């Protein structure tokens, strides 16, 4: 067995501007990890996230630091204890899954017991903006069955009402990105309930979300920044009804599989989410989302240019990946 790990930074332009409560960006900066072995190659993609203390250079350095061990035959199981959860481990873990499938002539879907693959409805994200701008964006996408709107301002009510008026038939997920406060939580939740919002994602800052246990949650609340790995789940049961599983948080498909199983056992609704990346980053999550309650895997739909062998999207339907892409 001869292995070789490589990791490179790649950039994909975003169609327009992607804005959340923490800022805006015009391109998706990702790291692609490739592991070659005896004529086969597996790939994984991660998106370093500044909110979690990650940077492109730091994540790239973390991946390179494990290269010698991977080249010497490090397994996925061993990787879980050699690297901490996060973007770097995600890229390596997914590359190892892809390599194993290609080397053994199998599909990752078969390996994880998800052989019956089908297209999924994914949420489509509307960036944060002025109410009129968000309404216009919602009107252009009103035919989509599930919209996710970014909020987290001092006047979220007007934005939410504008979007609901522009897309009266769509299911709506609100993502406050930790932008609400305990003082306005009940008000925002009442407005969301009035407008038939399906889910509210991370309304309060991680570590400052105890108030969620002491109010009547009129709309189901989903943890994102508050939950990273399986060990976090038990402590969140009094505050959240759902969890957003992202491979860049869990550190790859291996931990995400365990986390999803435990979340479902504990009675959480499960969302499979993503950072803004290419189809390579979405592919493992599409397989994992087959029996999830929500899929939020629209990263490539937000790009001006995706990978050549990207995922197939038809409207808001996303199809399982072809082997040429991943898995």
Q: Are 66 and 74 in contact (CB under 8 A)?
A: yes
Q: What residues pair up with 272 in beta bridges, in sequence order?
A: 245, 295
Structure tokens at 169: 């038939």
Q: How far apart are CA 227 and CA 207, in angstroms?
A: 10
Is 84 noted as a catalytic residue in this protein?
Answer: no
Helix ranges restricted to H, the chain:
56-65, 67-71, 76-82, 87-104, 108-111, 131-140, 156-166, 182-194, 247-250, 253-265, 279-288
Task: Scan for tokens 């989302």, then name that residue.
Answer: 289
Report phi then psi at 199, rounded to 5.
-160, 140
Q: How far apart are CA 257 and CA 73, in angstroms?
A: 22
Q: Which of 150, 208, 231, 249 is catalytic?
A: 150
Cα–Cα nearest to 305, from 8, 87, 10: 10
Is 208 noted as a catalytic residue in this protein?
Answer: no
Q: Which of 246, 249, 260, 305 is catalytic?
A: 246
User: Which residues have a catalytic role annotated?
Assistant: 150, 246
């Amino acid at each position: 067995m001869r292995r070789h790990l490589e990791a490179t930074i790649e950039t994909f332009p975003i169609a327009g501007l992607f804005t959340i409560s923490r800022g805006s960006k015009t391109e998706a900066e990702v790291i692609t990890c490739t592991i070659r072995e005896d004529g086969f190659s597996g790939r994984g993609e991660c998106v370093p996230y500044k909110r979690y203390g990650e940077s492109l250079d730091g994540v790239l350095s973390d991946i390179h630091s494990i290269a010698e061990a991977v080249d010497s035959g490090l397994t996925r199981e061993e990787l879980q204890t050699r690297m901490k959860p996060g973007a770097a481990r995600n890229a390596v873990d997914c590359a190892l899954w892809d390599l194993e499938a290609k080397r053994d002539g199998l599909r990752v879907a078969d390996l994880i017991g998800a052989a019956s693959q089908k297209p999924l409805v994914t949420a489509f994200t509307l960036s944060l903006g002025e109410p009129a701008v968000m309404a216009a964006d919602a009107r252009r996408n009103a035919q989509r069955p599930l919209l996710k709107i970014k909020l987290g301002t001092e006047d979220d009510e007007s934005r939410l009402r504008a979007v609901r008026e522009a897309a009266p038939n769509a299911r709506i997920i609100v993502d406050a990105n930790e932008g609400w406060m305990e003082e306005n939580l009940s008000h925002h939740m009442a407005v969301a309930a009035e407008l038939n919002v399906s889910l509210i994602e991370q309304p309060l800052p991680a570590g400052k979300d105890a108030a969620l246990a002491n109010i009547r949650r009129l709309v189901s609340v989903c943890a994102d920044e508050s939950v990273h790995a399986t060990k976090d789940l038990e402590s969140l049961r009094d505050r959240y009804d759902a969890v957003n599983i992202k491979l860049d948080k869990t550190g790859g498909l291996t931990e995400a599989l365990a986390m999803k199983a435990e979340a479902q056992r504990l009675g959480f609704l499960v969302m499979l989410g993503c950072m803004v990346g290419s189809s390579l980053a979405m592919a493992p999550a599409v397989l994992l989302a087959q029996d999830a309650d929500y899929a939020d895997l629209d990263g490539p739909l937000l790009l001006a240019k995706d990978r050549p062998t990207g995922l197939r999207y038809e409207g808001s339907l996303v199809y399982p990946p072809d082997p040429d892409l991943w898995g």
